[in-house]
């Protein structure tokens, strides 16, 4: 059975992009540290790469990066860190999580923090816990909304009233599609409520969760009595309170189960079966049902007030409403703010379809949904426009990702734009928000109506004023794309000015080789004169200070203090000490003029350097990277050094040799 240093679980509400982006980042970060890792993903297709009990037991630490329930109780007692999936979308961020997990102390409460800063973060993560439960419900709900909404929209292809047997455009197949779609859409709130509850109280909470969701749909049924008073009657009619009621019901059901577990904890062990099959479902359904019926009036009023508020924004003009929608959808591109806008849109659409074609509710809800969809489609298309028009300002990796985003954008998957935003949150996020807002505003102004909650351009046949909708999206994408290209052009030219000219070693050597990749000039990264084999350092900081000063002497950097501060800043984020006497400190600073590697050896061992196995550091392979090359040369050299450290022969040669030339040659060979 394979054993892994690190095990991890990732999951996002939709299970489409964030889940697998976090997986990739964690795997790369682990490789940089010479660690083995297995990442379990909780995507839309279910659990993949599932962790076994043996793998969990054999792991040194656990990383959970998820906004949904991933059964973290399996990891009880293991050193663990648990954060939202957005905290693990870059290799650097994922690396910090791995470092924290390795430094954490295991206990029966699934502890995550290892220092004061982490403890503060855990205390503040109560909001994330609530969000995780909510998103567990949303992730299960979305597939019902998408399937039901698209089938309902397809039924309109035969005519807007083709499901009505009394209408002139009646079609029996369209009517069946409308029935199937309507049933799926009506399951939206019960499923939302049930899986919020399940995230909190596990399987026993599903029953009261579904019941709470059904009550949220129908409200408290009443009839008018003989004397005019309203009487509770199972055959009467009630006012539903929508997805807000489903959210309240889900949390209520989950925590009622937790309460009942404590109440029944004193019962004999041989009654556990009775608790699961009888006591929990009976008492939880009774309590949750009575509370939900009791709050139906106030919840219905709150739901109505929220809808009126949104309609009030519309009354303030297309600009106000479209700006709010666009900024929310592009703010975190698939994160909690984006999901809040999207779920609101689907709730409005559900009410619109229930109200029927031609009603004010239908017109507002489908127009709102069209604006939300437009705002979600635009960000990936902005990146596509930018990498095509401004190709020379992007790396090949970014160019390829931008081209793929054409498909993602056209199918309403916003997450494809995330890697571009994480590299330059400012000003890329405002650019994305502006582009999405323009598309939303124009969609509202063009009176576009979208009866489908997802699908992007695939649902164009059922979109009213579809060509104008496409035009609105293209305008938003082009405006955002032009601004994105302008920023990348400015950033590219600034880096070109600050980057040193490549040494003219041969006629064939490309001028920008040092910026793009280490391969072309690998032999120059570790020079013999920058390998120090017989040093004696009292501490980690003394070793890093020595490297910083040698960098200035060698003409690699202009300010030793700035280099030292860069080294210490990286160590503060997480130790660069590895295992078996190796460390890979790295400094990224504008004070460094040329990418290089300096190697220092101390056979007696440098103490005070936090390493993964607790051993002192004998060899420090220090990376010095100009600030302009932080995302290119830095990561490439670091990954190659980390990979080399996994080779026992490499470690033995570097650690055992006292010949600077041999060490330089051995390391340079692995950088090719």
**Angle CA 143–13–286, to nearest 5:** 75
Burial (CB < 10 A; 0-12, 13-18, 19+), residue 278, is exposed
Burial of 105 per CB tally in 10 Å (0-12, 13-18, 19+): exposed
Q: Are strands 582-583 and 230-232 parallel, antiparallel or unpaired?
A: unpaired
DSSP 8-state symbol, 237:
B
CA distances from 67 to 16, 125, 134, 137, 143 (A): 13, 12, 9, 11, 17
The count of other CB atoms within 10 Å of the CB of residue 467 is: 11
Contact 247, 340 (CB under 8 A): no
CA 352 to chain centre: 30
Q: Can the peptide bond before residue 427 be classed as cis, meaning omega within 30 degrees of 0? A: yes
Cβ within 8 Å of residue 645, ≥6 positions away: 34, 578, 582, 584, 651
- Tell me the CA distances in angstroms from 579 to 35, 84, 178, 239, 649, one per residue in order: 10, 29, 62, 64, 15
3-state helix, strand, coil in the chain (%, to 5): 65, 10, 25
| Strand ranges across the sheet with 61-66 | 46-48, 37-43, 6-11, 61-66, 80-83
Which ranges constitute the DSSP H helices of 264-317? Answer: 272-274, 280-294, 296-315
CA neighbor of 406 nearest in space, from 392, 418, 416, 396: 416
Q: Which of left, alpha, beta for 125 (phi over 0: left; psi -120 to 50: alpha)?
A: alpha
d(CA 138, CA 134): 6
Name 557's bridge partners. Answer: 592
Exposure string of 426-445, with b = 16+ CB inside 10 Å and e = fewer, is eebbebbbbbbbbbbbbbbe
Tell me: cis bond preceding 432? Omega within 30 of 0 counts. Answer: no
Tell me which DSSP letter residue 532 carries: E
Contact (CB, 8 A) for 170 and 227? no
C-alpha Rg value of the chain to the nearest Å: 29
Three-state SS for 555? Answer: coil
Has 12 been annotated as catalytic?
Answer: yes
Q: Are 624 and 597 in contact (CB under 8 A)?
A: yes
| 8 Å CB contact between 63 and 6 | yes
CA distances from 21 to 30, 86, 407, 566 (A): 14, 9, 17, 28
Return the closest-CA partner of residue 664 out of 609, 597, 604.
Answer: 597
Residue 289 φ then ψ, to 5°: -60, -45
**Cα angle 616, 666, 548; round to 5:** 55
CA atoms within 13 A on the CB side of 500: 18
Active site residues: 12
């Amino acid at each position: 059975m394979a054993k892994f240093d690190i095990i991890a679980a990732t999951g996002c509400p939709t299970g489409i992009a964030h889940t697998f982006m976090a997986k990739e980042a964690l795997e790369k970060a682990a490789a940089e540290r010479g660690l083995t890792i297995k990442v379990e993903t909780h995507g839309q297709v279910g659990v993949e790469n599932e962790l076994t009990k043996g793998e969990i037991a054999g792991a040194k630490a656990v990383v959970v990066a998820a906004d949904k329930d991933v059964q973290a109780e399996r990891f009880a007692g293991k050193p663990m860190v648990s954060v939202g999936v957005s905290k693990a979308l870059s290799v650097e961020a994922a690396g910090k999580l791995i470092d924290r997990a390795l430094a954490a102390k295991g206990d029966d409460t699934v502890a995550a923090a290892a220092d004061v800063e982490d403890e503060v973060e855990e205390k503040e993560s109560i909001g994330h816990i609530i969000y995780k439960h909510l998103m567990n419900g949303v992730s299960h709900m979305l597939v019902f909304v998408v399937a039901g909404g698209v089938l309902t929209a397809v039924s309109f292809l035969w005519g807007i009233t083709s499901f009505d047997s009394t209408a002139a455009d009646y079609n029996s197949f369209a009517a069946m599609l409308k029935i199937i779609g309507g049933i799926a859409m009506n399951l939206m709130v019960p499923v939302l409520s049930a899986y919020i509850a399940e995230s909190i109280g596990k399987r026993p909470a599903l029953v009261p969760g579904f019941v709470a969701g059904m009550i949220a749909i129908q409200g408290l049924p009443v009839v008018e009595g003989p004397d005019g008073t309203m009487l509770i009657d199972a055959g009467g009619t009630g006012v539903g309170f929508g997805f807000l009621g489903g959210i309240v019901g889900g949390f209520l059901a989950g925590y009622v189960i937790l309460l009942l577990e404590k109440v029944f904890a004193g019962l004999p062990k041989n009654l556990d079966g009775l608790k699961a099959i009888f006591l929990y479902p009976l008492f939880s359904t009774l309590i949750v049902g009575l509370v939900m019926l009791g709050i139906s009036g106030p919840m219905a009023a709150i739901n109505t007030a929220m809808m009126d508020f949104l309609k009030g924004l519309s009354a303030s003009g297309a600009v106000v409403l479209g700006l709010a929608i666009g900024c929310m959808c592009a703010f975190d591109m698939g994160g909690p703010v984006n999901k809040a806008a999207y779920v609101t849109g689907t709730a409005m659409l559900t009410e619109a379809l229930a109200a029927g074609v031609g009603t004010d509710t239908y017109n507002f809800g489908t127009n709102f949904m069209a604006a939300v969809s437009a705002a979600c489609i635009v960000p990936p298309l902005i990146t596509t426009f930018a990498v095509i028009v401004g190709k020379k300002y992007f790396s090949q990796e970014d160019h390829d990702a931008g081209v793929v985003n054409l498909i993602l954008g056209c199918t309403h998957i916003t997450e494809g734009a995330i890697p571009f935003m994480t590299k330059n949150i400012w000003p890329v996020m405002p650019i994305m928000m502006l582009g999405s807002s323009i598309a939303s505003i124009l969609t509202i102004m063009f009176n576009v109506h979208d009866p489908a909650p997802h699908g992007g351009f695939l649902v164009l046949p059922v979109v009213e004023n579809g060509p104008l909708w496409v035009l609105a999206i293209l305008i938003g994408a082009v405006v955002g794309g032009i601004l994105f290209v302008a920023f990348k052009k400015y950033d590219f030219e600034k880096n070109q000015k600050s980057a040193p000219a490549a040494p003219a070693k041969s006629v064939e050597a490309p001028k920008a080789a040092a910026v793009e990749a280490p391969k072309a000039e690998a032999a120059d990264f570790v020079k013999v004169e920058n390998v120090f084999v017989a040093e004696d350092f009292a501490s980690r900081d003394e070793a890093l200070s020595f490297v910083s000063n040698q960098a200035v002497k060698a003409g690699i950097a202009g300010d030793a203090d700035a280099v030292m501060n860069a080294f210490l800043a990286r160590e503060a984020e997480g130790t660069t000490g590895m295992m078996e006497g190796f460390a890979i400190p790295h400094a990224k600073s504008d004070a460094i003029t040329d990418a290089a590697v300096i190697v220092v050896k101390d056979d007696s061992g440098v103490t005070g350097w936090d390493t993964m196995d607790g051993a002192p550091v004998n060899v420090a392979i220090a990376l010095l990277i100009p600030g302009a090359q932080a995302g290119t040369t830095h990561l490439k050299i670091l990954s190659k050094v980390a990979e080399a450290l996994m080779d026992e022969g490499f470690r033995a040669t570097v650690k055992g040799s006292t010949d600077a030339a041999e060490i330089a040659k051995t390391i340079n060979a692995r950088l090719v």
